[in-house]
């Protein structure tokens, strides 16, 4: 049982304090009973576990949360976290810290917070599905705590927007923006993809890939940049969020290990989900985070590439994933594609957002000369591929795109990525008589795992092409409720 | 590739990242007491602590440095923002982070 996860060999015994490990076991697995009035299949209906046959779930009964969290202890620690978060929120309010935040960072928060608050609520929903349908009593309990965590994060996001709105305005329409801003469609579709999937796939996607691999970039590297640009509240907000994620990460890593160890037929299934979500999270989290670290933070702390090197390659791939190698798990199939794309990721996105500057609900600035020199030093491809664009912007060219790119059928990103020779990395495929476009080879690979999951989904360019939104309505579609001078302007 | 000056990134190290403050200072002192070759990076809002292979924290040592007898090992989660490695042990007395060996 516990030996699988924690050897326990270093436990020190003999002290007046109660044995928390024993208390944990008594209040998690100890309260579970096997159903006898109804069958197990009735408790875990196939309808909600569509691919459950793919994971052979032996041993789940013995799974233990490495943090050994139980309700009383959970509430005590979370209350302390909230106390310290709200103390800092109070101090920020009391001393008008919002006025010291760099204006460009505030513009970025319009994008960031409406994406985050909505995805936290999506995550809460996913965690509750895990709690209900993963057949392991201890895992159910851990997943419930995770769901409460996500609700805390989502509510603090809204609280943050309310605070920022008092001083800067322009964060009112965050629910609507999430449905419309093109950069957020990848997150929205990604989570909807998960809702229609298997609870075990959720554990891989959310705990073992998203939270273990990507949240450190999002909630540790990113706030370091926020704090450098005057946003102390953001720093506290994101770091306290991440203290919950450390628990989720430990759960995800032991969960993936349990799946790999239970049955060798699980290995290819786990690998497929791991490869798929590693790439999709590179889109959902990597893309937006790259522009916050490199661009929305006018004052630089590190480049996105450096943050990726530390948190993804060193802490995640070398520190967690490679250690699972003996159980058969290989590093992400598309790791090389990620590394290649990181050389241009933030630059391609920022350029595209500048080209659409009149239809964004946030402002996009031209990077100044010092920033461009910094980019050239950090990213060798910046100078040949992106510097000429900003030189043209300097000389007063409008540089508006005036149209929209086709979007990727899987990740929903516009097809705007190029290789080192400036050749588009796009791909396409005909499926049941209809041609579908992809931003890259990995997205095409993901499409072919379950084509029917994507074929009926309309990308934004398809919505426009079908006349559901008319060309003259594009500005109000994308920039609905855009703030002008801190006030909302609506039709 | 540009070498990062922000992080030290030593191969085969385990890593703990803590929200700065008096608790983080006490935990850092406790880590220094129980481990050798501790490397530290100071970032906006948090500390990055790296130790080769295995990192041990003793609750009693943290309580001593913090001067608070009611600090519990589980309170570590309040400030623990990130980690690299496997949580080998997490009891009321001790927290151990190590490289997983299978």
Which CATH number do you get for residue B54? 3.90.56.10
Side by side, the strands of the sheet bearing B94-98 are: B54-58, B94-98, B86-90
A249 CB neighbours in chain B (<8 A) are: 83
Q: How far is CA A223 from CA A101, A103, A228, A292, A381, in A?
A: 13, 16, 8, 10, 26
Considering its fold, how many domains does chain B have in total? 1
Confidence of residue B2 (pLDDT cuts 50, 70, 90): very low
pTM to 2 decimal places: 0.90
Confidence of residue B72 (pLDDT cuts 50, 70, 90): very high
Closest CB to B74 among A73, A302, A323: A73
Q: Residue B89 is part of which domain span?
A: 13-98
Where is pLDDT greater, at B4 or B91?
B91
- The answer to whether residue A481 scores a pLDDT higher than 70 is no
Mean pLDDT across chain A, nearest whole number? 88
- The answer to whether residue A356 scores a pLDDT higher than 90 is no
Contact yes or no for B85 and A12 at CB 8 A: no
Which three-class secondary structure state does DSSP give residue B86?
strand
- Over range A81-86, report the average pLDDT: 94
Where is pLDDT greater, at A283 or B85?
A283
Q: How many CB pairs under 8 A join A and B?
A: 139
- What pLDDT score was predicted for residue B5? 54
Closest CB to A242 among B82, B87, B91: B82
- pLDDT tens column, A117-150: 999 999 999 999 999 888 888 999 999 999 999 9
As a whole number of angstroms, the distance between CA A206 and CA A139 comes to: 14
Least confident range from A86-95, A107-116, A478-487, B18-27: namely A478-487
Contact yes or no for B46 and A249 at CB 8 A: no
Contact yes or no for A6 and B89 at CB 8 A: yes
- The answer to whether residue A275 scores a pLDDT higher than 70 is yes
Confidence of residue A180 (pLDDT cuts 50, 70, 90): confident
- What pLDDT score was predicted for residue A199? 87
Closest CB to B91 among A21, A310, A318: A21
Question: Would you call A227 an interface residue with chain B, using a CB distance cutoff of 8 Å?
Answer: yes
As a whole number of angstroms, the distance between CA A131 and CA A251 comes to: 13
For domain A48-354, which architecture applies? Answer: Orthogonal Bundle (1.10)
Closest CB to A68 among B4, B15, B90: B90
A82 CB neighbours in chain B (<8 A) are: none
Where is pLDDT greater, at A304 or B9?
A304
Contact yes or no for B77 and A247 at CB 8 A: yes
**CA A97, A98, A104 angle in degrees (round to 5)?**
130
Contact yes or no for A220 and B2 at CB 8 A: no
- The answer to whether residue B15 scores a pLDDT higher than 60 is yes
- Over range A68-88, report the average pLDDT: 93
- The answer to whether residue A36 scores a pLDDT higher than 80 is yes
Which three-class secondary structure state does DSSP give residue B59?
helix
- The answer to whether residue A12 scores a pLDDT higher than 90 is no
- Over range A250-254, report the average pLDDT: 91
Chain B interface, best mutation among A243, A253, A329, A339, by max B CB count within 10 A: A243
- DSSP letter assigned to residue B90: E
> Quick check: is B48 in a domain?
yes
ipTM here: 0.85
Return all residues near A330 (Cβ < 8 A) that are at least 6 apart.
A271
Closest CB to A224 among B43, B78, B101: B43
- What pLDDT score was predicted for residue A463? 82
Return all residues near B95 (Cβ < 8 A) that are at least 6 apart.
B56, B57, B59, B73, B76, B87, B89
- Over range A319-342, report the average pLDDT: 94
Selection from A80, A9, A144, A310 nearest residue B76 by Cα: A80
> Quick check: is B61 in a domain?
yes
- The answer to whether residue A398 scores a pLDDT higher than 80 is yes
> Quick check: is B70 in a domain?
yes
Where is pLDDT greater, at A475 or A397?
A397
- pLDDT tens column, B24-55: 999 999 999 999 999 999 988 899 999 999 99
């Amino acid at each position: 049982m516990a030996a699988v996860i924690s050897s326990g060999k270093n436990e020190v015994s003999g002290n007046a304090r109660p044995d928390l490990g024993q208390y944990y076991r008594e209040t998690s697995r100890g309260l579970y009973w096997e159903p006898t009035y109804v069958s197990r299949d009735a408790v875990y209906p196939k309808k909600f576990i569509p691919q459950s046959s793919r994971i052979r779930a032996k041993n789940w009964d013995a799974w233990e949360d490495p943090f050994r969290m139980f309700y009383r202890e959970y509430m005590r620690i979370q209350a302390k976290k909230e106390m310290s978060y709200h103390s800092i929120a109070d101090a920020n309010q009391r001393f008008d810290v919002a006025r010291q935040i760099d204006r460009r960072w505030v513009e970025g928060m319009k994008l960031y917070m409406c994406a985050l608050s909505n995805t936290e609520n999506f995550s809460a929903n996913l965690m509750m599905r895990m709690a209900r349908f993963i057949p392991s009593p201890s895992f159910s309990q851990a997943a419930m705590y995770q769901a409460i965590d996500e609700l805390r994060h989502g509510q603090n996001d809204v609280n943050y927007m309310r605070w920022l709105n008092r001083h800067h305005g322009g964060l009112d329409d965050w629910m609507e923006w999430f449905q419309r801003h093109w950069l957020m469609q990848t997150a929205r579709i990604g989570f909807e993809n998960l809702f229609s999937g298997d609870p075990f796939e959720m554990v891989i996607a959310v705990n073992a890939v998203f939270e273990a691999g990507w949240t450190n970039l999002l909630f540790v590297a990113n706030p370091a940049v926020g704090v450098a640009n005057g946003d102390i509240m953001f720093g506290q907000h994101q770091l306290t969020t991440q203290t919950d994620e450390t628990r989720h990460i430990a759960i995800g890593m032991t969960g993936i290990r349990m799946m790999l160890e239970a049955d060798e037929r699980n290995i290819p299934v786990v690998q497929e989900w791991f490869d798929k979500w590693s790439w999709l999270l590179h889109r959902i989290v990597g893309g937006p985070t790259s522009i916050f670290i490199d661009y929305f933070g006018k004052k630089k702390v590190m480049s996105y590439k450096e943050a990726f090197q530390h948190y993804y390659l060193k802490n995640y791939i070398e520190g967690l994933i490679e250690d699972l190698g003996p159980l058969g798990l290989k590093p992400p199939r598309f790791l090389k594609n990620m590394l290649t794309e990181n050389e241009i990721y933030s630059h391609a996105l920022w350029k595209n957002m500048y080209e659409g500057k009149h239809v964004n609900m946030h402002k996009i600035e031209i990077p100044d000369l010092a920033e461009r020199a910094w980019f050239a030093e950090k990213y060798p491809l910046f100078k040949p591929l992106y510097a000429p664009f900003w030189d043209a912007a300097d000389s007063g060219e409008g540089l508006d795109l005036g149209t929209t790119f086709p979007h990727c059928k899987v990740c929903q990103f516009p097809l705007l990525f190029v290789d080192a020779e400036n050749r588009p990395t796009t791909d396409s495929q005909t499926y049941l008589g209809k041609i579908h476009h992809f931003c890259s080879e990995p997205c095409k690979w993901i499409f072919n795992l379950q084509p029917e999951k994507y074929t009926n989904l309309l990308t934004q360019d398809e919505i426009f092409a079908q006349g559901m939104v008319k060309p003259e309505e594009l500005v109000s579609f994308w920039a609905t409720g855009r703030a002008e001078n801190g006030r909302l302007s609506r039709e | 590739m540009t070498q990062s000056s922000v992080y030290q990134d030593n191969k085969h190290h385990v890593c703990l990242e803590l929200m700065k403050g008096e608790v983080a200072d006490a935990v850092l002192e406790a880590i220094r007491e129980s481990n050798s070759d501790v490397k530290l990076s100071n970032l906006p809002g948090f500390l990055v602590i790296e130790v080769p292979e295995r990192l041990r924290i003793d609750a009693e040592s943290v309580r001593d440095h913090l001067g608070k007898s009611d600090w519990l090992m589980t309170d570590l989660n309040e400030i623990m923002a990130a980690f690299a490695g496997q949580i080998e042990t997490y009891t009321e007395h001790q927290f151990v982070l190590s490289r997983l060996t299978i």
